[in-house]
Amino acid sequence: MATLRITCSVFAAAAIVMLSSYCYLGFSQKKKKKNNTRTGLVDAIGNTPLIRINSLSDATGCEILGKCEFLNPGGSVKDRVAVKIIEEALESGKLFPGGIVTEGSAGSTAISLATVAPAYGCKCHVVIPDDAAIEKSQIIEALGATVERVRPVSITHKDHYVNIARRRADEANELASKRRLASGIHEEKTTNGCVVVEEKENSVISDSVTGGFFADQFENLANYRAHYEGTGPEIWDQTHGNIDAFVAAAGTGGTLAGVSRFLQDQSKLVKCFLIDPPGSGLYNKVTRGVMYTREEAEGRRLKNPFDTITEGIGINRLTKNFLMAKLDGGFRGTDKEAVEMSRFLLKKDGLFVGSSSAMNCVGAVRVAQTLGPGHTIVTILCDSGMRHLSKFHDAKYLDQYGLNPTAIGLEFLGIK
């Protein structure tokens, strides 16, 4: 009987301990959940979901996963870059609160900078090619940034949108410098007792800014670091290291470089690939070691080398960011494939994506076809189709180039 009482007491004690632990754990989880808030807009950037793209996975026999960067506050993967660029500029003293961040961008980086800059007390001035989808500049202006739309020209031309953006930062610094000088030399710079600052003629930069900083997304390695320190580790953690390949297109090259280098630093078994749109020289560089074929050499081109409807990807020069990439190969994608892929994803998965995201998914299928079934492949869903309504998702625009979708399934990629 004594043994029975002791045994019952032990069970009772154990039950109380388990109940207490459960209650404490439940309380802790509730408490943690209650305090699981993010501090401000900037803290909401990153840690985006990694989803299985069911239609592509089922069709290829691979696990094809998409990193949903369109769920960032600014709507794209470029939010990460904007934060990193501005924070590093502030830390280095190249930018101060009240200053203006300038950038030449086809759209997404500009939108992200316009979204993020006010959170740091800064302004934003964007120079954008006038053939970019009009809704992009409308979004940027609605966010309070200044937009200059200019004609597309070669990067070697002084009026290329990137070169103009660099000049705007110089103008802002010159104006700020003149104002500081004037405030320190009152006797030489006064008219009727008022300080005079000579504003540069025809400058589009306000003389009230504390200075300018050119974001330089193509050559600024803060771009690469944003993905090496953020996107790459997130993908590794979300797949628990069970990843066979990563594929993405490149514009500045920052995403491809940062993610590929981080993943391969974790495991040499992870294969990383480029998917390149028409007109870009990166595919040739990755697969053949040269940027151009003989026909594509400068001076021999009959058309604009960026004669593609995809925006923000494809380039004919090697940026500092792209040179950081660790790649095992590359694939060519076409405008038709990107259009067909975007409609297929919408119809089968409810995913409404932009042109670069669609091209990335073309690349994911190409990798799956190369590696064979049973592999896990990750790509980037850069932005949604909402900022591509006037071109990539406009039937009349596509009809001009014979690009309206006709496929029923994935036959455009050789899958029946």
CA 399 to the chain's CA centroid: 28
Mean pLDDT of 347-375: 98
Which of 197, 214, 231 is where one domain is finished?
214
Of residues 213 and 199, more confidently modeled: 213
* 170 plus 285 within the same structural domain: no
pLDDT greater than 50 at residue 239:
yes
What pLDDT is attached to residue 132? 84
- Structure tokens given for 328: 């095992």
What pLDDT is attached to residue 298? 44
Residue with tokens 């300080």: 195
* 231 plus 324 within the same structural domain: yes
* 134 plus 66 within the same structural domain: no
Which of 196, 214, 232 is where one domain is finished?
214
pLDDT band of residue 194 (cuts 50, 70, 90) is very low
| 299-324 tens-digit pLDDT | 444 444 447 899 889 998 899 999 99
3-state SS, the chain, equals CHHHHHHHHHHHHHHHHHHHHHHHHHHHHHHHHHCCCCCHHHHCCCCCCEEECHHHHHHHCCEEEEEEHHHCCCCECHHHHHHHHHHHHHHHCCCCCCCEEEEECCCHHHHHHHHHHHHHCCEEEEEEECCCCHHHHHHHHHCCCEEEEECCCCCCCCCCHHHHHHHHHHHHHHHHHHHHHHHHCCCCCEECCEECCCCCCCCCCCCCCCCEEECCCCCCCHHHHHHHHHHHHHHHHHCCCCCCEEEECCCCCHHHHHHHHHHHHHCCCCEEEEEECCCCCHHHHHHHCCCCCCCCCCCCCCCCCCCCCCCCCCCCCCCCCHHHCCCCEEEECCHHHHHHHHHHHHHHHCCCECHHHHHHHHHHHHHHHHHCCCCEEEEEECEEHHHHCCCCCCHHHHHHCCCCCCCCCCHHHCCC
What pLDDT is attached to residue 53? 98
Mean pLDDT of 78-95: 97
Is there a domain that residue 65 lies in?
yes
Mean of the per-residue pLDDT values for the chain? 86
Residue with tokens 């030399």: 185
What pLDDT is attached to residue 128? 92
* 201 plus 306 within the same structural domain: no
Is there a domain that residue 245 lies in?
yes
Residue with tokens 């500009």: 110
Is there a domain that residue 358 lies in?
yes
What pLDDT is attached to residue 26? 47
Give the pTM. Answer: 0.84
* 172 plus 278 within the same structural domain: no
* 141 plus 161 within the same structural domain: yes
Is there a domain that residue 29 lies in?
no
Is there a domain that residue 20 lies in?
no
* 62 plus 195 within the same structural domain: no
Mean pLDDT of 58-74: 98
* 151 plus 248 within the same structural domain: no
Is there a domain that residue 31 lies in?
no
* 173 plus 251 within the same structural domain: no
pLDDT band of residue 133 (cuts 50, 70, 90) is confident
pLDDT greater than 60 at residue 282:
yes
* 334 plus 233 within the same structural domain: yes
Give percent above pLDDT 70 in the chain.
82
* 67 plus 96 within the same structural domain: no
Q: Which domain holds residue 157?
A: 78-214
Is there a domain that residue 207 lies in?
yes
| 157-178 tens-digit pLDDT | 999 999 999 999 999 999 888 8
What pLDDT is attached to residue 247? 98
Q: Domain tally for the chain?
A: 2
Which of 214, 245, 279 is where one domain is finished?
214
| 98-131 tens-digit pLDDT | 999 999 987 899 999 999 999 999 999 999 988 8
Strands 100-104 and 63-68: unpaired
Is there a domain that residue 277 lies in?
yes
* 239 plus 291 within the same structural domain: yes
Angle between helices 335-349 and 355-371 (to 10 degrees): 90
CATH of the domain at 332: 3.40.50.1100
